[in-house]
Each structure stands twice: as structure tokens, then as C-alpha cells.
Amino acid sequence: MLFRIYNTLMIRTLSSKAVDFAGREIRLNGWIKIRRDHGKLIFLDLRDRDGIVQIVVNPHISEEAYKVVQELRPEFAVEITGKVNKRPENAINKDLLSGTVEVEATAIKILSKAETLPFDMGEAKLNLELPTLLDNRSLTLRHKSIFEIFKVQEEVARAFRKAAEKLGCTEIFVPAISASATEGGAEVFKVKYYDYDAYLTQSPQLYKQIMIGVFERVYTISHAYRAEPSVTTRHLSESVQLDIEIGFIDTFEELLDAIELVGTSIVSDVSKNCAKILASFGIEKALIPTEIPRLTLKEAQEIIYKFSNGQRDCRAEQDLNATDEKLICEWAKKEKGSDFVTITHFPTKKRAFYSLPDPKNPELSLSYDLLFRGLEILSGSQRVNDYDQLLSIMKERKLNPKSFPMYLQAFKYGIPPEGGFSFGLERLTMKLLELQNIREASLFPRDTERVDERLSNLK
Ligand code: AMO
């Protein structure tokens, strides 16, 4: 039998658990958030992965700790040992999980020093312009109002996985380097691959479709790379997509049921499990009716025209633009009590080659977008699953079948009627928290001006 020899160090306690140790000594690890000097007494807010706990440093309790505390500045990483004392009733802080206690320091050890911060991080909100927020990302991410965005994002991914598994999908992991551009268009990053050219994957599309032949139903969370030329508040050059693909479907409507089920499950789970964060962002309860309004593009365009009293006429357009998406969502909220609206039947020529033309009217495709609070958060379609039809569509669109060898190989060997969809993780996060810019919903956003650093600094 093997015995492990543990050192004699006191086991670390997380800030939220300090309340369980009233009257006893504990060891905490964390970062200094704020230091407040109150004459002889010095108070610290110590942040760890669980929250914040107040430390009081009294020279009469520990001269040594009092000496060290003079050196401490925000973001120093420290180890603090001290006795947990109950706070008097009038000093309880209801906003903290540890708010009924404070820890009287008996020893403080500096684990890592921090330079003077370039701005104040002690306030509840971090009032910085976006470029400053991103230029100092490793620091600004440590602020509660910023890192909580990514706790919501984590919940979105968790809820998506849960919903996908409920649908019977198998999780797959797809390559980031592709032999071809999946979504067509010029928005592709070419990479030198040994002596050849390859591309950064624009979406997991081709791989998830191939996998229909293996698992029938699959899902994947993957990075999508797009050389988006335009600068907007809703496009990134690298984003995360949440994809599902479902085989052996009987009807197009089955796919619409699936997108609405997964979309509403994600929003419900986030509303339930991140209620406190949503409240701190001032977010209203999501409106999720039993039936999500479904409109064809044409119907949506007519509604937009009427709803805007003729101010906006997009009836001759091939797609909805950002203004149209906002207007149709305003309509859905007002008339149908819904934060979601599903739009179907986009013109075939405006959708990617794998979208199935509607057999009743091939000018239109069996495609859909799901909009949430004024923004497209999902896109998808029923697919062309017949090999010969796929080849003839490729030919029509001047796509070279030789660029898609593995994809086409799958369709030679029995891919059943199928379809799928993809959510944009950052877009969903952005809308759940009503952020103004998608960059705020990406840990390390990439765009035409930035890869970590501003590109102009990399020259
Ligand atoms: P699409 O290109 O519409 O469809 O992308 C799916 C969803 O991903 C998000 N998204 C983006 N988010 C941030 N920056 C971008 N540049 C960006 N581009 C897209 C959006 C969008 O709805 N293969 C198809 C999906 C399918 O048919 O299954 C596809 O990629 O939320």
C-alpha cells in the first residue's frame, strides 16, 4: 500500500467557505482587489475563483502581517492566514457569499507582485473605451463585470451540449485546417501547408455532414475562421460555432422544431443558472412563448414594411439586413410576446451550395435563420443529400468537385435526408447580456485590426 506524505500546510479555504470556519483559523489564496487604510486598521478585499472575502489587518494582532500589508497593491497574488470572525449585524455585506464574516490576518505571504495598474479596477463597473478594454485584456478580464460575461458563455456551451445530447447527437471534434473553403465566397484565410495551399476552416459544415453517415446525429463546438472584410459590431474573424447535424429527417419542420428547442433551452438554462449575473447586467426576463413565430423571408419583409409604416421597404431584397432583423424582432416581441423569431425560405442563390432548393419552388431554399433580440444567432438548412444533385449544383456554381473529394465521397455512399444548423457562441452571449459589441463577448477577439495586439503594433 502506498502512503502519501502530506506537508504540514493548512489546507486552503475558498472565500465563500470562510463562513463555515467562524472562530477558527484558515488559509486563503487570492488577489488583492482593494486595499483600504482606516488609520491603524487596514482592510483588504481578497478575490479568488469563488468570490471575495474581507481581510482586516491589525498591528496588535500581527505586526508581521501589518508590515507586509504596506507593500500590497491591487492584483498582488497572496496567501493569507487568519482567524474568521463574525461581523456585527450592521457590518454584514449581503452582496458577498462571505459577507457575514471577515478574516483577521495573522500572516500574509506575497506569492507574486503586480505593477501599478494602468486604471482603477476597484469600482463595480469598468468604465473603459473598447480599445483600452481590449489592449489590456489580460487585466480587464479579471474584473467581475467582464469575467462574468464568460461565466454566461460557459453556461451557453453547457446548455447547448445538454440539448444536443438530449437529441441523441454524438460530440465530434473537427479539423481547423481544411482542403477547401466550406462556405464559399472570398472570406477565407489561406494558409501555407508545407508546399501546398490549405484553408482555415470557415465552419465545421463539411465534416459534420460527412459524420451523418457514421453517427446519424452529431454536434460540435468549433472555431470558425472568416476573413470578414467589413468592420461591424457583430462579426469576428475567428468565432466559435455551436453546430448540430441531424440525419434521417422526415420533414423540414423537424429541423425548425430542433432549432427552436435548442435555442430556447439555452436561453432558459442561462436565465435559470445565471440569474444573478443577468440581474447585475439589468437584463429583462427572456420572452419564450410556447410557439416561436415562424415566417418565410417574404412574409417577414411584408411585416417589416407594414410595421415600420412604410419607412423600411426591404421587399425586393434577398436577405434581411441588421435594421430588418431589429424591426422583425421588435414586431415579434410586441405582437407575439417572443424574443425569438424564425425566418425560412431564403433565396437559393443567396445560401451556400449545400442548402436544399425547395422542391415546390427551387428558387427558394429550405433554409432558416433564428433571430434573438434583434440579431441572427443561428443559420442552417436542410441539405442536398443526393450525390448527382450535389454535383450538378457545384457545376452551376462553378465550384470544382475536385476541391471537395472527401465530402463528395461520403455522398456516394448513402447519406440520408438530413439538415442542421449552427449558433454563433459570441452572438448568443452578446444578446443574452445585451452587449453593444460582439468583441466584448469574445475572450480574445480577432478582427481586421487585432490579433491580441493591434495589428499596427505588430508591424
Ligand atoms: P453561418 O455562416 O450563417 O452558417 O454561421 C452560423 C452562425 O455563426 C455566427 N457567425 C458569426 N459570428 C461572429 N462573427 C462572424 N464572422 C460570424 N459568422 C457567422 C452567426 C451565424 O448565424 N455552415 C453554416 C451553418 C449550417 O448551415 O449548419 C454556417 O456557418 O450567429
pLDDT at 229: 86
Residue 336 lies in a domain: yes
Coil, strand or helix at 55: strand
pLDDT at 4: 58
**377 Cβ closer than 6 Å to some ligand 1 atom:** yes
Choose the residue to mutate in 183, 239, 385, 407 for probing ligand 1, maximizing ligand atoms within 8 Å of C-beta.
239
What's the pLDDT band for 297 if we cut at 50, 70, 90? very high
Atom 15 of ligand 1, nearest CA residue: 235
pLDDT digits (tens, 9 = 90+) for 415-448: 999 999 999 999 999 999 999 999 999 999 999 9
pLDDT digits (tens, 9 = 90+) for 155-172: 999 999 999 999 999 999
Q: Do 201 and 312 share a domain, yes or no? A: yes
Q: Do 142 and 259 share a domain, yes or no? A: yes
- What mean pLDDT is reported for the chain? 95
Tally the C-alpha atoms within 13 A of residue 87's C-alpha that lie toward its C-beta.
19
Q: Is the pLDDT of residue 5 over 80?
A: no
What mean pLDDT do residues 344-356 have? 97
Q: Do 304 and 440 share a domain, yes or no? A: yes
Q: Which of 97, 112, 127 is the last residue of a domain?
A: 112
pLDDT at 362: 98
**183 Cβ closer than 6 Å to some ligand 1 atom:** yes
- Tell me how far the alpha carbon of residue 275 lies from the centroid of ligand 1, in angstroms: 27
d(CA 445, CA 187): 17
What mean pLDDT do residues 111-131 have? 95
Q: Is the pLDDT of residue 280 over 60?
A: yes
Q: Do 173 and 95 share a domain, yes or no? A: no
Q: Is the pLDDT of residue 3 over 60?
A: no
Q: Do 153 and 106 share a domain, yes or no? A: no
**422 Cβ closer than 6 Å to some ligand 1 atom:** yes
pLDDT digits (tens, 9 = 90+) for 307-336: 999 999 999 999 999 999 999 999 999 999
Cell 459534420 sits on residue? 208
Could you tell me the pTM of the whole model?
0.96
Q: Do 48 and 197 share a domain, yes or no? A: no
**378 Cβ closer than 6 Å to some ligand 1 atom:** yes
Q: Do 193 and 330 share a domain, yes or no? A: yes
pLDDT at 101: 98
- Tell me how far the alpha carbon of residue 38 lies from the centroid of ligand 1, in angstroms: 53
- Total structural domains in the chain? 2
pLDDT at 1: 47
**424 Cβ closer than 6 Å to some ligand 1 atom:** yes
pLDDT digits (tens, 9 = 90+) for 126-145: 999 999 999 999 999 999 99
Cβ-contact 43, 55 below 8 angstroms: yes
Q: Do 366 and 259 share a domain, yes or no? A: yes
**82 Cβ closer than 6 Å to some ligand 1 atom:** no
Q: What does each C-alpha distance from 140 to 76, 128, 137, 155, 340 come to in angstroms? A: 15, 9, 5, 21, 32
Domain that holds residue 164: 138-457
pLDDT at 76: 98
pLDDT at 181: 75
Residue 128 lies in a domain: no
**263 Cβ closer than 6 Å to some ligand 1 atom:** no
pLDDT at 391: 97
Residue 280 lies in a domain: yes
- Tell me how far the alpha carbon of residue 379 lies from the centroid of ligand 1, in angstroms: 6
pLDDT at 442: 98
Q: Do 151 and 100 share a domain, yes or no? A: no
What's the pLDDT band for 185 if we cut at 50, 70, 90? low
Q: Is the pLDDT of residue 459 over 80?
A: no
HEC profile of 337-387: CCCEEEEECCEHHHCCCCECEECCEEEEECEEEEEECCEEEEEEEEECCCH
d(CA 316, CA 98): 59
Cβ-contact 255, 367 below 8 angstroms: no
**426 Cβ closer than 6 Å to some ligand 1 atom:** yes
- Residues of the chain with pLDDT > 90, as a percent, come to 93
- Tell me how far the alpha carbon of residue 403 lies from the centroid of ligand 1, in angstroms: 22
- Tell me how far the alpha carbon of residue 226 lies from the centroid of ligand 1, in angstroms: 10
Q: Is the pLDDT of residue 353 over 70?
A: yes
